[in-house]
Amino acid sequence: MSPAPQHRLYGFAAEFASAADLYHAAEKVRDKGFRRWDVHSPYPIHGMDDAMGLGRSRVSLFSLLGAATGLSLAFLMICLAGDDHGIVRAIMGNFNYPIIVAGKTPFDIEPSVPIFFELTILLTAFGTVFGLLALGRIPQLHHPMFNWDRFDRVTDDGFFIAIRADDALFDEAETRQFLESIGGTGVSRVEED
């Protein structure tokens, strides 16, 4: 057997007794100025965003990008299929199939609006969902926190805070002491694989 490789340090983690304790501890971690840290709880805790000082989510940017893509795509599709005049001809050259349906002109704003609308909505939804997954780095099949046996209770009745080693303020001795000072129990080293 070869000797076990040296494990890199993920950070220090501590357990808290209740959701309220976790909430107040999070406020203290935030006020201390840590940036790279996380809380883990069995259920969402109301107001935790503020307690952690997370600020505004950037998901809406992905939504906007999705919306803009959807609207442009709809416009392009309508141009490709129907319009036979003006700017569209200049852009699209011969790629047009002007088909008269129900006596309507090849391009009208009224029947185009549902297409604009639906494609915008669809791609906004895609942008939001996939943007959310990307920002949350989901799916993540394994997380260093699972290397800590105590962490199994996070899906049952355990409330945890983990401060990562790559935080600028991280210091092995001080961070351990800090987690104990804000009411954390069982403060442990958590290692990466």
Q: Which is nearer to another protein, 113 or 134 (CB)?
A: 113
**Strand locations in the chain (E):** 9-16, 37-40, 159-164, 185-191
Separation CA 42–CA 73 (nearest Å): 42
56 three-state secondary structure: coil
Q: Which is nearer to another protein, 56 or 137 (CB)?
A: 56
How large is the angle between the packed helices 109-135 and 59-81, nearest 10 degrees? 150
125 three-state secondary structure: helix
Q: Which is nearer to another protein, 20 or 133 (CB)?
A: 20
Smallest distance from another protein to CB 173, Å: 31
Smallest distance from another protein to CB 110, Å: 5
Q: Which is nearer to another protein, 20 or 80 (CB)?
A: 20
Give the dihedral of Cα atoms 78, 84, 85, 90; nearest 10 deg.
Answer: 80
Q: Which is nearer to another protein, 118 or 152 (CB)?
A: 118
Smallest distance from another protein to CB 88, Å: 22
Smallest distance from another protein to CB 111, Å: 6
Smallest distance from another protein to CB 68, Å: 13
Burial of residue 155, with CB atoms counted within 10 A of its CB: 0-12 exposed, 13-18 middle, 19 or more buried: exposed
Among the residues of 5-108, which ranges form H helices?
A: 19-32, 48-52, 59-81, 86-92
Smallest distance from another protein to CB 117, Å: 9
Q: Which amino acid is present at 59? A: V
Residue ranges binding another protein (CB under 8 A): 20, 23-24, 46-47, 50, 56, 60, 102-104, 110-111, 113-114
Separation CA 15–CA 10 (nearest Å): 16
Q: Which is nearer to another protein, 85 or 104 (CB)?
A: 104
